[in-house]
Amino acid sequence: MRDGAINFEAKLVRFSEHWSPRVIAEMNDYQFKLAKFQGEFVWHSHAETDEVFIVLSGAMALEFRDGTVPLAAGEMYVVPKGVEHRPVAPQECCVLLVEPRGVVNTGDAGGAYTARNDVWV
Amino acid sequence: MRDGAINFEAKLVRFSEHWSPRVIAEMNDYQFKLAKFQGEFVWHSHAETDEVFIVLSGAMALEFRDGTVPLAAGEMYVVPKGVEHRPVAPQECCVLLVEPRGVVNTGDAGGAYTARNDVWV
């Protein structure tokens, strides 16, 4: 029997922690992760990979050293590899992340916001 | 000046052809493509890669030789590499595809539905 579709809402209700991505699917060596953002994350970068943010509900911004990109539901952004960024969200924002398997949420920065990797929901 | 967010709706209104994916972003060597499905596509497979379907609006189904997976807005599915499938959509359905750069929409099947590759919108 083949698996059914992956429903974002059905997955999102299964966790509440902010800044703690949950894997929902893999495509080749890439992972699709759901995350809930609220507040200000840490400045960080990923030296080896671009990173995709797709906003499913709510609104957020990606702060860069040279400006800020607002993102709302139905919008996406590709953060180029090596570029320092900081996600921020005044209210809770649900996001679909796409990145290679093994990417740590805080990149080069580490610290208290570093989430356990490869946690599925 | 940094690019702004990529808005799916703003991109979708810029083309109307069915089964004709348009690239909207690249992440490493992967592409994000918008497509409008309506009717029945051809049976095909992609020998070298998984393929991700994320439904943005409307509803569709992925037919497999061993069953059918219905997909509605807010749902995604990963078609494993090498697995024969046929997308179908009774009414127009808008989809975000994720796959490596260079993947042809009809895979191994070819034929009239084969779209020009790497067309951006």
Note the pLDDT tens digit of each residue in A19-66.
999 999 999 999 999 999 999 999 999 999 999 999 999 999 999 999
Interface of A with B (CB under 8 A): 1-9, 24-28, 30, 32, 49-52, 54, 56, 64, 66-67, 69-72, 74-78, 81, 96, 98-100
Contact of A81 with A47, CB cutoff 8 Å: yes
CB contact under 8 A, A27 and B52: yes
Dihedral of the alpha carbons of A93, A99, A105, A108, in degrees to the nearest 10 = -140
CB nearest to B2's CB, from A26, A54, A64: A64
* Rounded distance between C-alpha atoms, residue A52 and residue B11, angstroms: 17
The span from the CA of A115 to the CA of B38, in Å, is 41
Are residues B8 and A64, on separate chains, in Cβ contact within 8 Å? no
The pLDDT tens digits of the residues spanning B42-76 come to 999 999 999 999 999 999 999 999 999 999 999 99
Chain A nearest CA to B37, separation (Å): 17
Decide if pLDDT at A3 tops 90.
no
pLDDT score recorded for residue A12: 98
Mean pLDDT over each residue of chain B, to the nearest integer = 96
* Average confidence (pLDDT) over B70-86: 98
CA distances (Å), A69 to each of A9, A79, A97, B3, in order? 25, 10, 16, 8
Q: Please report the pLDDT score of residue A25 as a whole number.
A: 98
Q: What is the pLDDT of residue B1?
A: 60
Which residue, among B32, B64, B47, has the nearest Cα to A3 in the 3D structure? B64
Q: What is the dihedral of CA A23, A24, A26, A27, to 10 degrees?
A: -130
Average pLDDT, chain A: 96
User: Bridge partners of B70?
Assistant: B61
- How many residues comprise chain A? 121
Q: Do A70 and B100 touch (CB under 8 A)?
A: no
Q: Residue ranges per domain, chain A?
A: 26-121
CATH, domain range A26-121: 2.60.120.10
Q: Which of B9, B32, B50 sits opposite A28 (nearest CB)?
A: B50
Regarding an ipTM greater than 0.95, the answer is: yes
Residue among B25, B66, B72 whose CB faces A76 most closely: B25
CA atoms within 13 A on the CB side of B118: 5
Reported as type and span, the H/E element at residue B8 is: helix B8-12
For chain A, give the percent of residues with pLDDT over 90: 98
A76 and B50 in contact by Cβ < 8 A? no
**How far is the C-alpha of B12 from the C-alpha of A120, rounded, in Å?**
31
Q: What DSSP string describes A2-41?
A: ---PEEHHHHHTT---BT--EEEEEETTEEEEEEEEEEE-
Question: Are the Cβ atoms of A74 and B51 closer than 8 angstroms?
Answer: no
Cα(first)–Cα(last) distance of chain A, in Å? Answer: 20
To the nearest whole angstrom, how far is the Cα of A8 from the nearest Cα of chain B? 6
CA torsion sign for A70, A13, B50, B73 is negative
Q: Which residues of B touch A78 (CB under 8 A)?
A: 25-27
Ramachandran class of A19: left when φ > 0, alpha when ψ lies in -120 to 50, beta otherwise: left
**At the topology level of CATH, where does B20-100 sit?**
Jelly Rolls (2.60.120)
CB pairs under 8 A between A and B: 93
Residue type, A1: M
